[in-house]
Structure 1
Amino acid sequence: MKRPESMSARRKFGVVGGLGPLGSADVFFKMVKATPASSDDEHVDLIFEQRPFSGSGSSSAATTERKLYVFDMIREFEKRGVTTVVLPCFLSHTFIDELKANTRLPIVNIVEALRCYVQRKFPDATRIGVMASDYVRGKKLFETYFPSPRFEIIYPRAHGDNDPVTDAIYGPLGIKRGNLRGRPVELLRAASEDLADQGAQVIVPALTEIALVADALGPQRVPLIDSNLAYAQYAVSAPGGSRAPTFKVGVVGGVGPAATVDFLNKVVRNTPASRDQDHIKLLVEQNPQIPDRTENLVGTGTDPTISLYATCKKLEDGDADIIAIPCNTAHAFVERIQPYLGIPIVNMLTVTVAYLRETYPALRQVGVLATSGTIESGVYKKALEAHGLTQVAPEPALQARVMEAIYGKSGVKAGFSTGRCEEDINVAVDGLIADGVEVIVLGCTELPILLPGGEYVARNGARVTLVDPTEVLARRCIAYATSAGD
């Protein structure tokens, strides 16, 4: 039989088990039951994962153990190709926003599923009886999804210090201990009667174990829905698709280390934010062991292609949306590795040249201070010529002083920012000014540490504008991240 079109691009569900082993297994079974299928191969893909949970065996709280248990399982689901997470645990839904903030997988919301079910099956119901644990009641989980004044949430009344629903599930003779007859059923039956007495129009179990004893409760004065089945049906039938994740910028760090810190500082400084949470999510892979780019381009140094690619793949595997490489010379290798990546590298050179053309429309010549590897690779020359601009590099003796300022014993890569290195780079700038340039690109990410971008005044009083590609790259990454949230 031909597979229906709706099943051809099937979703893959991951069911988090173990937090209520009996209840979560029931949800798994009912998801299979709820799937519209006329043959085995038309059923949805399901993974049911259950591990021993070492957290509290009572209704206490959304403990750290519970949160990390669920999060680790979702991470495993991501690795196994799951597209949708099913979380049959009401306690865990009290911290569902924390989970959603840290995964790309959509989590089917059990309380939202029940609200949709109630509104569809009982459109006139406004007084909703809820059988929940004391913790879920205290967190007002149902009040969030069934808000007043449209709805009124009613809970069974306690008998002294005893909450009948919590006792039925978590007590010494509770369902959690495998008791599906006797005292737990009596407690739940009494709770149901109490809700009816309070005027509830429908009763919603907020513990997945209650469905296991629904038949034993017998006929009800008020409809008692099967929350597990409602959740299962909602999960199977609800539209798929990933949630909109938080945009993440991946950074190839360590090329060089000080330049990476400088780039991160510029991202933070240029981000419009009034609190920590307004800043951009960054993933930095600090890998100073990437072979030197200049040594490879001008000599016999080790090819850094594999190391650069491996670092970019780690960022891609870490769910980065774009990659920034705060190293000009490394961009000589970008065209080699970009075709093998699933996310774009924001090319610092091309965005800098685009910035120059937009900011200085009459510009014709651009001075470039960079490593000899960057100059000889021609990457800036090519990018500039694509916009009708001409590269002006220092003459050989001055280029040697640029390299000394960067790589010398007293250079910026050795941790210096004043003294000999500062003198060397100033002489190189003066040389480019003498060649008639009015704008100079600081084409090595260490150079802004010596020469901040902006106006530079030479010893003879001549003025030139220094453009910092690290700053341009940071602003462009910020623009991508903020526009993704619009």
Structure 2
Amino acid sequence: MKTFGIVGGLGTLSGGDLFFKLLKSKAVLENQQDFHFLFEQHPYQQMNARLENEADLHSRKFYAYTTCKAFEAKQVDKVLLPCFASHGFIDQLQTELQIPILNLFDALSYYLKNTLKKDEKVGIIASDYVKKSKLFSRYFKDYELVFPSSQSLIMEAVYGPQGIKNGYLEGISLEYIYQACLELEQTGCRVIVPGITELSLLCEPLARRGIRLMDVNQIYVNYALASEIRKPSKEFKLGILGGVGPAATVDFMAKVIKNTPAQKDQDHIKMVVEQNPQIPDRTAHLLRNEADPTLAMFSTCKQLEAEGAQAIAIPCNTAHAFIEAIQPHLRIPIIHMLHVTIEHIIKQYGKAVKVGLLATSGTIESQVYHEIASKEGLSLLIPEPEFQKEVMASIYGPKGVKAGFSKGQCVEDLTKAIDHLTQRGAEVLILGCTELPLMFPDQTSIVSQGKRVELADPTTLLAKKCVHLALNV
């Protein structure tokens, strides 16, 4: 089954004409069960107005994008955009979409290549905007382009009160186009290309008067039916399940940016964030069986998936206790921060190193870090209960980091647990709650009990992993 989306409304009559030609094409009539067509036309104030300024162009871009995005949600295979002016920004549209828009100029170029010899004259009848944009010069470099002298009459024939866009296909509008075609033929043009899609509606009445005007809508249809479906290459987009907690999300994004080798804005990674602080507290569920965050996390992941993310990062250690339940139901991977952290420690320090874990009681109770470390042959030290209370106070206390503090009491509380683990021989400390690195900005080690202890920041390690993935897709 091939699904085609047709963007209507950028010329009401031309969109309808193209749709009808699709339906009555031989390939479709003989295999109707193999085709699914979606035609979308929405209220658009400039539907039949001439394109005259930057505001008009932006409006047209937004309309085309919104319609194409709706097609994308319906998993359309190809989009047809029957509007010459809109093909001036087709590259901008394509960059923001995951479905291919078939280029009308590619269709016409292919047709001319099989019809004309190089340097032959080609007559062009276009709107003021398309003519000034030099779109035809960009695509038809192998031919000598000729435009009629009666440009103002052409615009009147198309956009005037008795013009083609208002449904008048006979009378003065037809006469003006006929005279323009005669002029082009007299200059030696063997082919006349209408750069206004509505002019395809005049092909038959002009043919009765001896003029062969190229039917661009029919050529576009033939090209669409014959061309292979080629999905545009995707730029990597990272999805971030945010809000768990909010400050840690911002910290993670900053670390992605910091670790991206960029010379300009455009070198950075696309990120889409679903900042959802209403996800129930992970630790509260693990310790006291309060509200289960699994469905809220899954819903957020699905929204990121729908936004075109190719991988998901969750800057929350405790949340990783729920990933095993969520991952099988997603089409894209969650980059496992805890795996990344343990792999880094082993690679950097070896399996014999003594590692202390500073994390929420929920993370410790879930054993999610321990299970990963154990499989890799690494053992973890955790604070004894009285010192674990200090860790929790540094995170959840009135002066804790989740309350917006990163200095003072929260650091004092955490330092007690750090000194405790150092006394027990810890050489590396995992900052196993994504808020904890906020107390040690840009620090990779600290001095505790008179000796230097290395800090493993899972947020930074996850950011680096995401950057590596993005640059090596």
TM bucket, shorter chain: over 0.9
- 8 Å CA contact 1:364–1:388 kept in 2: the answer is no
Q: Distance in 1 between matches of 2:92 and 2:272?
A: 19
1:301 pairs with 2:290: yes
Q: Is the 8 A contact 2:2 2:34 kept in 1?
A: no
Q: Secondary structure at the match of 1:122?
A: coil
Work out whether residues 207 and 213 of structure 2, in 8 Å CA contact, stay in contact via their aligned partners in 1: no
Which among 104, 121, 130 is matched to residue 124 of structure 2?
130
Equivalent residues of 1:452, 1:468 under 8 A apart: no
Paired position in structure 1 for 2:168: 179
User: Where do residues 352-391 of structure 1 align in structure 2 (5 Å cutoff)?
Assistant: 352-361=341-350, 363-391=352-380
- Corresponding position of 1:50: 41
Are 1:165 and 2:154 counterparts?
Answer: yes
- CA distances 1:47-75 after superposition (whole Å, capped 9, x unpaired): 22223321263322453332222222222
2:70 alignment partner in structure 1: 76
Give the distance between the partners of 1:13 and 1:427, measured in 2 at CA: 64
Q: Is residue 66 of structure 1 aligned with residue 60 of structure 2?
A: yes
Deviation sequence 1:123-172 (CA, Å, 0-9, x none): 4454322111110111111122123xx333322124xxx53322221122
Query: 1:424-439 alignment to 2 at 5 Å?
Result: 424-439=413-428
Q: Distance in 2 between matches of 1:14 and 1:207?
A: 20
**What letter corresponds to residue 451 of structure 1 in structure 2?**
F
Q: What secondary structure is seen at the aligned counterpart in 2 of 1:332?
A: helix
TM-score, normalised to structure 2, is 0.94
Give the drift of 1:191. Answer: 1.5
Paired residue type of 1:53? Y
Residue 410 of structure 1 deviates from its aligned partner by 1.0
Greater Cα offset, 461-470 or 351-360: 351-360
Whole-Å Cα distance in 1 between the matches of residues 21 and 198 of structure 2? 13
Does residue 458 (structure 1) correspond to residue 447 (structure 2)? The answer is: yes
Cα displacement string for residues 65-99 of structure 1 (whole angstroms, at most 9, x for unaligned residues): 32222222222222333221111111211221222
Letter in 2 for 1:25: G
Task: Among all aligned residue pairs of Structure 1 and Structure 2, give the percentage whose two residues are the same amino acid.
Answer: 45
Partner of 1:135: helix, strand, or coil?
helix
SS of the equivalent of 2:67 reads: helix
Aligned residue identity for 1:122: L
Distance 2:351 2:120 in 1: 69
Alignment partner, residue 206 of structure 2? 217
Is 1:31–1:232's contact at 8 Å kept on the other side of the alignment? yes
Greater CA deviation, 246-255 or 64-73?
Answer: 64-73
**Paired position in structure 1 for 2:7:** 16
Residues 108 and 216, structure 2, Cα contact 8 Å, conserved in 1: yes
Structure 1 residue 380: deviation in Å?
0.7
- Structure 2: tracts of 5 or more residues without a match: none
Q: 1:30 aligns with which of 3, 21, 24?
A: 21
Structure 2 partner of 1:264: 253
Q: 1:97 is matched by which residue type in structure 2?
A: D
Deviations 1:36-57 (A, max 9, x none): 2564634521122223321263
Tell me whether 1:228 sits opposite 2:217 in the alignment: yes
2-structure distance, mates of 1:314, 1:238: 32
What is the SS of the residue equivalent to 1:416? coil
1:96 alignment counterpart: 90
Equivalent position of 1:86 in the other structure: 80
Aligned to 1:5: none
Shift of 1:282: 1.2
Residues 99-128 of structure 1 deviation map (CA, whole Å, 9 limit, x = unaligned): 212221111111111011111222445432
Give 1:248's aligned residue. 237
Query: Deviation digits for residues 168-204 of structure 1, max 9, x if unmatched?
Result: 2112221112111122222112222222343434221
Does the Cα contact within 8 Å between 2:423 and 2:449 map onto a contact in 1? no
The match for 1:349 is 338
Measure, in 1, the Cα distance between the counterparts of 2:185 and 2:68: 39
Alignment check: 8 A CA contact 2:269 2:467 kept: yes
Equivalent residue, structure 2, for 1:3: none
C-alpha displacement of 1:253? 0.9
Partner Cα distance (1:373, 1:423) in 2 = 22
- Structure 1 stretch 271-280 or stretch 333-342: which is displaced more? 271-280
Summarize the Cα distance change of 1:388–1:126 in structure 2 as closer, same or farther, 3 Å threshold.
farther
* Contact map agreement 1:453 1:466 (CA 8 A) in 2: no
Name 1:121's counterpart in structure 2.
Answer: 115
Superposed CA offset, 1:334-366 (max 9, x none): 001111111111111011112222223354332
Counterpart among 394, 414, 417 of residue 403 in structure 2 = 414
Q: CA, structure 1 residues 111+78, in 2 after alignment: closer, same or farther (shift >3 Å)? A: same
Q: 1:335 pairs with 317, 324, 349, which one?
A: 324
CA distance, structure 1, for counterparts of residue 230 and residue 40 of structure 2? 22
CA contact (8 A) 1:455 1:463 kept: no
- Aligned AA (1:186): E
1:52–1:296: structure 2 CA closer, same or farther, 3 Å change rule?
Answer: closer
Deviation of the 1:218 alpha carbon:
3.5
| 1:449-479 alpha-carbon deviations (Å, 9 max, x no partner) | 0123644342543011101100111111122
Report the alpha carbon displacement of residue 447 of structure 1 after superposing the two structures with TM: 0.4
- 1:219 is displaced (CA, Å) by 7.0
Q: Deviations over 1:227-253 (max 9, x none)?
A: 111100001111013212332111111
Q: Do the aligned partners of 2:203 and 2:212 also contact (CA within 8 Å) in 1?
A: no
2:381 matches 1:392: yes
Structure 1 residues 251 and 455: alpha-carbon distance in aligned structure 2, compared to 1, 3 A threshold: closer
Deviation at 1:220, TM superposition (A): 8.3
Deviation at 1:370, TM superposition (A): 0.6
Among 402, 410, 434, the alignment partner of 2:391 is: 402
Once the 2 structures are TM-superposed, how far is the Cα of residue 315 of structure 1 from its aligned partner?
1.2
Name the SS for the 2:161 alignment partner.
coil
The two structures, once aligned, show a CA RMSD in angstroms of: 2.0
Conserved in 1, the CA contact under 8 Å of 2:197 and 2:216? yes
Counterparts in 2 of 1:35 and 1:262: CA distance versus 1, 3 Å? farther
Amino acid at match of 2:194: P
Contact kept in structure 2, 1:156 and 1:194, CA below 8 Å: yes
How far is the alpha carbon of 1:331 from its aligned partner?
0.2
Within 2, Cα distance between the matches of 1:120 and 1:372? 72
The 3-state SS of whatever aligns with 1:289 is coil
Deviates more, 1:214-223 or 1:383-392: 214-223
